[in-house]
Amino acid sequence: MIQLDTQQQAARQWFESLRDRICAEFEAIEREAGSDAAFGYTAWNREDDPEARGGGGVRGVMKGKVFEKVGVNVSTVGGDLNGDFAKTIHGAAENPAFVATGISLVAHMANPHVPAVHMNTRFLTTTKRWFGGGADLNPPLPYAEDTDAFHAAFKGACDAHDPDYHPRFQKWADEYFFIPHRGVHRGVGGIFYDHLEGDFDANFAFTRAVGEAFLAAFPPIVRKRMTRPFSDAEEQQMLEWRGRYAEFNLVHDRGTLFGLKTGGNIDAILMSLPPRAIWP
């Protein structure tokens, strides 16, 4: 069993509390739509892996009327990174030992007028300590007002901590959430940040603000669009777009690679994949 220090424990507790509030809000949306869908939770434990130092997490999944599939995972794991992979992780080349705790969320919606969304925040400890994360909006049928509202929420979170954050992290998201082999962006962007180290209290406060911004921004967009009628052609567009999303997560996503390389739970790692997709 891994031992957490005060900072790691504080981060883990925050990620778990954010998960609980997000899941409660998403279940409330399902009830408003006349559905009794609720999250099911599955615990997993790396203690079962003799090569892992320990840790685990809880995978939460809901399939409902509004959320065709949404997963909210929290994990806290520790161990030693393998030599080649350790060289790619900030601060791990000098010593492969690590502890990571974080929350990861991906929602695929039943109505193509409601955007899919991703959000995650994490705290990693190697020979260095840093926060990372972000969120991005992925609409099959984009609405400028939804995009603007999403960006405004994260700009507010960024500006309250550092006026340089939003332009820098928005640009980072545009560069990161891009599918090179398709030559297209995964969605309409958001923010992405990594290796935010130094002042733990300030960086932790910013990471909490990112979580709060997501909780403030995304549910109103869902409620605005979830009852809008859609055509078969619009649904087909959504399913084709989901194929692009799957390609990014399987080929380019850092979180997917990190989970697979560190002995994470396969179902939790691949939770981000859509329940249905097409490649015409």
Catalytic residue among 118, 151, 166, 185: 118
* C-alpha Rg value of the chain to the nearest Å: 18
Assess contact for 67 and 44: CB atoms under 8 A.
no
Query: Rounded to whole angstroms, how far apart are CA atoms 156 and 141?
Result: 25
The answer to whether 19 and 104 have CB atoms below 8 angstroms apart is no
Helices 6-32 and 200-225 meet at what angle, rounded to 10?
Answer: 10
What is the rounded CA–CA span in Å between residue 21 and residue 74? 13
Coil, strand or helix at 105: strand
Q: How far apart are CA 81 and CA 79, in angstroms?
A: 7
The answer to whether 63 touches 40, Cβ cutoff 8 Å, is no
Between the alpha carbon of residue 163 and those of residues 169, 188, 203, the distances in Å are: 11, 22, 14
Are the C-beta atoms of residues 211 and 167 closer than 8 Å to each other? no
Known catalytic membership, residue 118:
yes
The CA–CA distances, whole Å, from 197 to 191, 201, 210 equal 17, 10, 16
Instruction: Provide the pairing of β-strand 178-179 with 129-138.
Output: unpaired
DSSP E strands in the chain: the ranges are 40-45, 54-62, 67-80, 97-109, 116-125, 129-138, 178-179, 184-185, 189-196
Round to whole Å and give the CA distance between 268 and 58.
8
Q: Which residues are catalytic?
A: 118
